[in-house]
Amino acid sequence: MADGKSDWQATASPELLRLRAQLFTTLREFFAVRDVLEVETPILSHRTVTDVHLQSFSVTGKGDDELFLQTSPEYGMKRLLASGSGSIYQITKAFRSEEQSKQHNPEFTMLEWYRIGFDLDKLMDEVEELIVTVTGCDAIPRFTYQELFEQELDFNPHEISSDKLQSLTRETLTITGDDLSDTDYLQLLMNHLIEPTLPEQCFVYDYPVAQAALSKIEENADNTRVAKRFELYCKGMEIANGYSELTNPQEQKARFAKDNQLRTELGLLAMQPDERLLSALEEGMPECAGVALGVDRLIMLLSNTSNISDVISFPFDRA
Residue 204 has pLDDT above 50, yes or no: yes
Calpha distance 50→263 (Å, rounded): 8
Query: Can you tell me the distance from the alpha carbon of 3 to that of 5, in angstroms, rounded to the nearest whole number?
Result: 6
The reply to whether 181 falls in a domain is no
pLDDT digit string (tens) for 166-178? 999 999 998 877 7
Amino acid 179: pLDDT: 81
- Is there a domain that residue 131 lies in? yes
| In contact, 48 and 71? CB cutoff 8 Å | yes
pLDDT single digits (tens) 234-283 = 998 999 999 999 999 999 999 999 999 999 998 999 999 999 999 999 99
| Domain total of the chain | 1
Ranking 14-18, 156-160, 219-223 by mean pLDDT, the lowest is 219-223
DSSP state of 139: P
Rg of the Cα atoms in the chain? 20
192 pLDDT band, cuts 50/70/90, is: very high
3-class secondary-structure state, position 80: helix
Q: Is residue 84 part of a domain?
A: yes
What is the band of 1 on the pLDDT scale with cuts at 50, 70, 90? very low
CB 86 within 8 A of CB 296: no
pLDDT of residue 304: 96
Tell me whether residue 44 is in a domain. yes
Q: Tens digits of per-residue pLDDT, 105-164?
A: 999 999 999 999 999 999 999 999 999 999 999 999 999 999 999 999 999 999 999 999
- Decide if 270 is inside a domain: yes
- pLDDT above 80: residue 207: yes
- Residue 89's domain comprises 14-141+199-318
Residues 6+ apart with CB under 8 A from 313: 10, 11, 12, 17
- Residue 7 DSSP symbol: T
Asked whether the predicted pLDDT for residue 20 surpasses 90, the reply is yes
Does the residue 242 lie in any domain?
A: yes
pLDDT computed for residue 4 by the predictor: 62
Look at 24-38, 118-132, 175-189 and tell me which has the smallest mean pLDDT: 175-189
CB neighbour list of residue 166: distance below 8 Å, 6 or more residues apart: 180, 185
Using the predicted structure, report yes or no on whether residue 2 has a pLDDT greater than 60: no
242-263 burial string, b = 16+ CB within 10 Å, else e? bbbbbbebeebbebbeebbeeb
Single pTM value for the model: 0.94
- Under DSSP, is residue 273 helix (H, G, I), strand (E, B) or coil? coil
Would you list the DSSP string of 89-121? EEEEEEE------SS--SEEEEEEEEEET--HH
Give 49-66 pLDDT, tens digit per residue. Answer: 999 999 999 998 777 788
The mean per-residue pLDDT over the stretch 309-313 comes to: 97
Residue 159 lies in a domain: no
Distance, CA of 26 to CA of 35 (rounded, Å): 14
Share of the chain above pLDDT 70, in %: 98
How far apart CA 312 and CA 223 sit, in angstroms, is 45
pLDDT at 3 (0 to 100): 55
DSSP state of 190: I
CATH number of the domain enclosing 229: 3.30.930.10
- From the number of C-beta atoms within 10 Å of its C-beta (0-12, 13-18, 19+), residue 10 rates as middle
Residue 182 belongs to a domain: no
Q: Which amino acid is at 114?
A: Y
pLDDT in tens, 87-96: 999 999 999 9
270-295 pLDDT tens trace: 999 999 999 999 999 999 999 999 99
